[in-house]
Amino acid sequence: MKRIIPILFAFSLFFISCSLTYAALESPILTKSIENIDVTISWTPVDGATGYTFCYSTYPDGAPIVCTDMETETTFSATLWQGASYYVACKAYDENESSGYSNVELIKIAGESSTPGTRALEHTVYISENIGIRIAGSDAETSTRNYIINKFLDSGLAVSTQKFEFESDGAFKESFNVIADIPGASTKQIIVGAHYDSVDVGEGASDNASGVGALIATAEALKFQDLPYTIKFIAFGAEEVGLKGSRHYASQMSTKDISNTIGMINLDTLVGGDKIYVYGSADEEGWIREQALNIARAMGIPLETNPGLNADYPAGTTGDWSDHAPFKALGIPYAYFEATNWEIGNLDGYAQTETFGAIWHTENDTMEFLQREYPGRVEEQLTAMMNTLNELLMTIDAPDSENLSTRKKQSVVLFRTRNGDPL
């Protein structure tokens, strides 16, 4: 399949004005083919052209305009979703100038527009059921990485990968972090991360197809929003074998990168537990958690935080067992969204449900089990998480943001599981 990017565009008058400006190269002629949710867009080659630019925007507002360089490609396939509506056009270029725009085409997919929660569910189902178990360094983990890359590209985002090696079961293996950005009003950034590998039982639906589904759906929902800060989305590889992906990424951050990062938001196991939670850094550094809780209260969402019943985990905080921990070690404030139950078992959040105890890392971590035993829970929890997260990212307000870097101090991080075993 060609590069999978839905490149779409609007504002015919804008195209006309551009056509008047650049007249040396002929304009391409664009054609479209739509079958269900699969779109194929092609355009005629132009004599003398050395490449082509695709541009798109949402229908009917027609803004903002997003363009990407397709180099010499003259066709591509895109998989959209129900209710998606875009304008699309393209132009040719050579070493000196660009042509006018092609004809403007409207791409509309039948059906109602999906909500972010629905989109997160669709991604969660695909990753857990179509790909299944995703052991770190395996072919299935690679398939999941490719799925994430394609979905980021579908959203028109520039994507990069970061390769790293790790040792597991006496052998060296490789994995990758997948990285995509949405620019904001400030160049200071917020990292939003989720790991895409799983353990070797169940299907990793809760842990962590749900977090990856939310990560992708958040990028889809926010790509055209005015954001106060730049958002860096990172899908981490090899979390289940000792946070290898997030630890590698954090280890490669320069002093400038660290000072430019106002916070890290970790999405790990967003569904399945009896309750939904958000945790954060201790004391005043827990401001991301507090803003998330305030948003949830205003929206009537039953989001809670760790009540502090276990002295090892003070109220509002959590342990160092997920991908937030390497950033916490650098002094970066964090928030961590999760579905579990801190009021049962050993009061450490491991026993997610009163009825079945833990779901993650068991054969019950499948969509079939969750939907059968807890009808509607997955949809409700993903919708609640997505509504809170998206509003948080659109309105987040870092206290003393200009001086935030001077307050970052490295923290002691234990990197241990909930039962105290070292990662």
* 172-224 pLDDT per residue, tens: 999 999 999 999 999 999 999 999 999 999 999 999 999 999 999 999 999 88
127 lies in the same domain as 276? yes
CATH code: domain of residue 190: 3.40.630.10
Report pLDDT for 335. Answer: 98
Rounded Cα distance, 69 and 106, in Å: 20
Considering the domain boundaries, does residue 416 fall inside one?
no
How many domains are contained in the chain? Answer: 2
* 381-415 pLDDT per residue, tens: 999 999 999 999 999 999 875 555 555 667 789 88
Residues 29-42: what's their mean pLDDT? 91
Report pLDDT for 20. Answer: 43
> 225 falls in which pLDDT band (50, 70, 90)?
confident
160 lies in the same domain as 208? yes
144 lies in the same domain as 73? no
pTM of the model: 0.77
Strand order in the sheet with 38-43: 30-35, 38-43, 75-79
Name the residue among 403, 398, 399 with its Cα closest to residue 184: 398
Q: What is the residue range of 104's domain?
A: 12-108
> 161 falls in which pLDDT band (50, 70, 90)?
very high
Report pLDDT for 12. Answer: 42
Cβ atoms of residues 154 and 148 within 8 Å: no
Report pLDDT for 64. Answer: 67
Considering the domain boundaries, does residue 420 fall inside one?
no
- Per the prediction, the chain carries an average pLDDT of 90
249 lies in the same domain as 147? yes
Residues 323-343: what's their mean pLDDT? 97
36 lies in the same domain as 154? no
Measured at the CA of 122, the angle between CA 191 and CA 131, to 5 degrees, comes to 85
Considering the domain boundaries, does residue 398 fall inside one?
yes
Report pLDDT for 79. Answer: 73
CATH code: domain of residue 41: 2.60.40.10
98 lies in the same domain as 148? no
Considering the domain boundaries, does residue 241 fall inside one?
yes
Rounded Cα distance, 393 and 387, in Å: 10
* Half-sphere CA count of 57, side-chain side, radius 13 A: 13
